[in-house]
Chains A and B, each alone.
Chain A
Amino acid sequence: MTFREKTHWVALLVMLVAFGWFFIHSHTALPRGPEHLAASGGLLIISTIGIIIAMSIIIGFIAARNPSEAHAAADERERSIHWRGTHYAYYPAVIGMWLCVWLIFSGYGRVTLLYSLLGVVVFSELIRIGAQLWLYRREA
């Protein structure tokens, strides 16, 4: 497993845990009214900081174990995997964007729109990382 594939696994797991926790928490705040939902938005900052710290520590640990591999430039196969993964994530991002446009014209509030936009970004990112991991495994 290459260093980049390992970092992808770390990113996927950390994002699932951090944003999973964030969205579940937000979902439980939903019945209590928009104020509670907006207040739980503050958790987004905690989730983001948590993701950055967790990824930095874990990736730093992996890089320290094999510094030469960590500092090596991506080769053509890895670049191809990254391009294709990003390409696959483009479609959910566009569909999600149009969904958010529909939410605006359907009269949904700003909080709902904010969470929807965030959901689109996170979902697209998970598709990107997931697709890249699938391509890494398929060609392994």
Chain B
Amino acid sequence: MALPFTNDIRTLRFLQGEMTQAELGERVGVTRQTIAAIEQGKYSPSLEVAFRIAQVFGKPLDAVFVWQTD
């Protein structure tokens, strides 16, 4: 089932000089596979991990995760 939100992690990683998923995962405290799953919309992260990801990119939460309205 598709998650009700999308994310811009791939773009933000690119803008951070092609930060790798492994590097982001290390800074957030999760595995590379978890970052990949979040990025592809296959896993819904906890609020804590979502905030940590946003913090790494220096962005507010809603600049990373965007709720899909009908």
> At the interface, is chain B mostly helix, strand, loop or mixed?
loop
Does B43 lie within 8 Å of A139, measured CB to CB? Answer: yes
A139-B38 Cα distance, complex, nearest whole Å:
9
How many of A's residues come within 8 Å of B, CB to CB?
A: 12
For window 1-34 of A, CB contacts with B under 8 Å fall at 1-2, 5
**Minimum CB–CB distance for A33 against chain B, Å:** 51
How many of B's residues come within 8 Å of A, CB to CB?
A: 12
Q: Which of B31, B34, B42, B45 has the most CB of A within 10 A?
A: B31
Query: Cβ of A71 < 8 Å from any Cβ of B?
Result: no
Does A140 lie within 8 Å of B37, measured CB to CB? Answer: yes
Give the nearest-CB partner of A81 in chain B.
B43
**CB contact between A76 and one of B33, B36, B42, B45 (< 8 Å): that residue:** B45
**Sample (6) of A-B pairs whose CB atoms are under 8 Å apart:** A2-B31, A77-B34, A77-B43, A78-B34, A138-B42, A140-B36
